[in-house]
A and B are shown apart, each in its own frame.
Chain A
Amino acid sequence: MAEQSHAPAAATPVLDVVDERLTRQSRWRRMLSRPDLGAFAGAVLVFIFFAITAGNTGMFASDGVLNWLTVTAQLMIIGTGAALLMIGGEFDLSVGSMIGFTGMVIAIPTIYFGLPIGLSVVLAFVLAMAIGALNGFIIVRTRLPSFIVTLASLYMLRGLTIALSILFTNRTIVSGLKQYSSGSFVAQLFAAKLFPGFFQWLADNGIINKLPNSQPAVPGIPMLLLWALVIAVIGHIVLTKTRIGNWIFASGGDANAARNVGVPVSAVKISLFMVTAFCATVFSACQVFEFGSAASDRGLLKEFEAIIAAVIGGCLLTGGYGSVIGACLGALIFGVVQMGILFTGAPSDWFQVFLGAMLLIAVLFNSTIRRRVTGER
């Protein structure tokens, strides 16, 4: 063993002999430099903490799990979009307003103008992505910081949502969508519960809890979870395994350097704004079909939650570094803690304190990682 490691050092560096020790070291180093390492450790800690403090409260029973998984899935959807955009070097603060806006675009035309519900949903996606593209276009063209441009769209969209819903319906909460949507394909697409028979069977056999009316406590896997999983998996694969992923990293790492070697930076950034808008619309569609209503204040502050999930997941605020897996773990931490605090019975205000502290720790940790990766001292 010892002889082996001495031999390559004496030979020319062109030899194909690989020193085992070095490989192991670099793999270790590569693992330590993973953007999602901190979020993974955080998630493990959070689970241990609540297993101890809330282990006997039903938090880890089937309905409890569904509870925090729902929050996690919602945040995974917009967090994936936010992470991709942040790696591409931009922010989108209009995500929250977009959720409120697209909810209304689904509800109002269906209920008040008689538009088929499927068309309303398509309209919501088209409008949202057009607004996303416009955000991106303004930012790419004017080279203004995305922070300020999307802050403007945050206010304009929210105001527009309230103003238009009052104009058309004279109210800010539009309910009664269920009668239009029940049985429709889009309602199934965004709010169906998967495998109800299996969950009934689980309840009948006492594996999961039953409600007093003998329904299972968890009627099935909500489509929301499936959407979150699909979006996250696609986001992760595109980012790490395709050339578009390489362009996203390059655009966020150094837009000029990327342009100089022919990366279509503007197209990448505009597309990423359309992706965040798409994710926001999926979020709102799931919510609208779940509740059967839309409200103009939906999605308030969600843009920050999405960014927090991405940052806890290891995305650098300056772009060019991060991962979708990290953002999903960030969303998981968020969901577990927000719901876990309710289960422990502590005042929910503590969640905000925790969130702020978590964010600060994550940012400090990320800048350490960044120094390790770039070799800065």
Chain B
Amino acid sequence: MTTAETVAAAKPRPREESGRALIEVHDLVKHFGPVVALAGVSMTVRAGEVHCLLGDNGAGKSTLIKTLSGVYRPTSGDFVVDGNPVTFASPRDALDAGIATVFQDLAMIPLLSITRNFFMGREPVQRFGPFWFMNMDFADSIARDEMRKIGIDVRDPQQAVGTLSGGERQCVAIARAVYFGAKVLILDEPTSALGVAQTSVVLKFVRQVRARGLGVIFITHNVRHAYAVGDIFTVLNRGRTMGTFIKSEITLDELQTKMAGDKELQDLSEELGGTV
């Protein structure tokens, strides 16, 4: 009667060996008509590393991650994933290649339940005669377990995501990407809208993700947040890479200065007592 063939959309992924290059981009250029958004950006993301992408507004951070996640196609430059050159036609292609992006506001749908959000686009289905139904019990239990693993106890995975805090929502989005076998996780300003306690929840989870051997690209304005979890830092300015630094080579203050980039801004920062 019932053929209980549960098709899980993805299985937990084998551990990546640390240090292998997952994404390499070289001299990536993106033009929007006459506007040069990226004027030659190079970076390498390795397994088990948190790669922070720093830069002021207009530095090209958004364009870069949208290119990496398949939303835009680069005008020129090399884009290599796992040693193979790629061109993504859509975000779906990037997802299939193991690059998952968690966008700041667009990660979750507040009105939908945690389970429905978690499995959105990759619903586990079960056959019943000629029809395929969503396997809600399976989905509920996975959603609950995955959230429990990161220390968020959702008693009822059917509750709407809107009832979760901002930090918890980001965590659901990250947990979803990890569960579905992402190799590289792109986090777009995951902490910018969060309070201190919630930020630490998210940062803690980023560390966990790194420990599992994923490569993480962490985009932020906040040098402190970057320094707290980052292993390597790439500073962008005006569509170019200003430099890539390993954590042991650079201090928090130096990083702040690099990010401020402009001499005038540094002077201003000093005038304001170094608080910017």
Contact = CB atoms under 8 A, between A and B. Distances in A.
Interface of A: 13-14, 22-23, 26, 29-30, 33, 241-243, 245-247, 249-250, 253-254, 256-263, 316, 320-321, 370, 373-376
Given A243-B125, A376-B162, 9 more contacts: A243-B132, A246-B123, A250-B109, A250-B116, A253-B109, A257-B107, A257-B120, A263-B120, A375-B164
Given A26-B159, A249-B112, A262-B95, A13 B153 contact: yes
Given A321-B111, A373-B162, A374-B162, A241 B106 contact: no
- For chain B, the bracket of interface size reads 35 or more
A13 B159 CA distance: 18
Nearest to B105: A257
Contacts of B97: none
Contact of A246 (B120, B131, B163): B120
B33 interface: no
B106 A257 contact: yes
B31 interface: no
A296 B87 CA distance: 53
12 contacts: A13-B148, A30-B156, A249-B109, A254-B106, A257-B107, A260-B91, A263-B121, A320-B111, A373-B111, A374-B160, A374-B163, A376-B162
Given A22-B155, A374-B162, A320 B109 contact: yes
A26 B156 contact: yes
Interface string B144-175: 00001001010110111011100000000000
A23 B109 contact: no
B249 to A, nearest CB: 35
B157 to A, nearest CB: 10
Contacts of A33: 160
B227 interface: no
B132 A254 contact: no
Nearest to A321: B111
Interface string B87-113: 000011001000001010011111110
Interface string B46-80: 00000000000000000000000000000000000
Contacts of A13: 148, 151, 153
Nearest to B158: A30
A257 B106 CA distance: 5
B91 A262 contact: yes
B134 interface: yes
A262 B131 CA distance: 22
B121 A374 contact: no
A255 to B, nearest CB: 10
Nearest to B70: A260
Contacts of B155: 22-23, 26
B133 A242 contact: yes
Contact of B109 (A22, A26, A254, A376): A254
A257 B95 contact: no
Contacts of A373: 111, 160, 162-163
Contacts of B159: 26, 29-30
A240 B164 CA distance: 22
B122 interface: yes
A249 B107 contact: no
A257 B109 contact: yes
Contact of A262 (B106, B121, B133): B121
Nearest to A376: B162
A247 to B, nearest CB: 8
Interface in B239-266: none
Nearest to A263: B121
Given A26-B155, A258-B120, A260-B91, A374 B106 contact: no
Contact of A375 (B134, B151, B162): B162
B133 A250 contact: no
B18 to A, nearest CB: 27
Among B107, B123, B153, the one with the most A-chain Cβ atoms within 10 Å of its Cβ is: B123
A241 B110 CA distance: 20
Nearest to B103: A260
Given A262-B121, A373-B111, A256 B160 contact: no
A14 B112 contact: no
Contacts of A316: 111
A293 B194 CA distance: 63
A241 B133 contact: yes
A373 to B, nearest CB: 5
Nearest to A87: B111
Contacts of A241: 133-134, 136
Contacts of B125: 242-243
B108 A257 contact: yes
B144 to A, nearest CB: 10
A253 B134 contact: no
B205 interface: no
Contacts of A320: 109, 111-112
Most buried by B among A22, A26, A375: A375
A241 B137 CA distance: 11
B111 A370 contact: yes
Contacts of B138: none
The 4 closest A-B pairs by CB, nearest first: A374-B162, A253-B109, A243-B123, A261-B121
Contacts of A370: 111
B119 interface: yes
Contacts of A254: 106, 109
A210 to B, nearest CB: 44
B91 A246 contact: no
Contact of B116 (A22, A249, A256, A376): A249
A195 to B, nearest CB: 28
A245 B110 contact: no
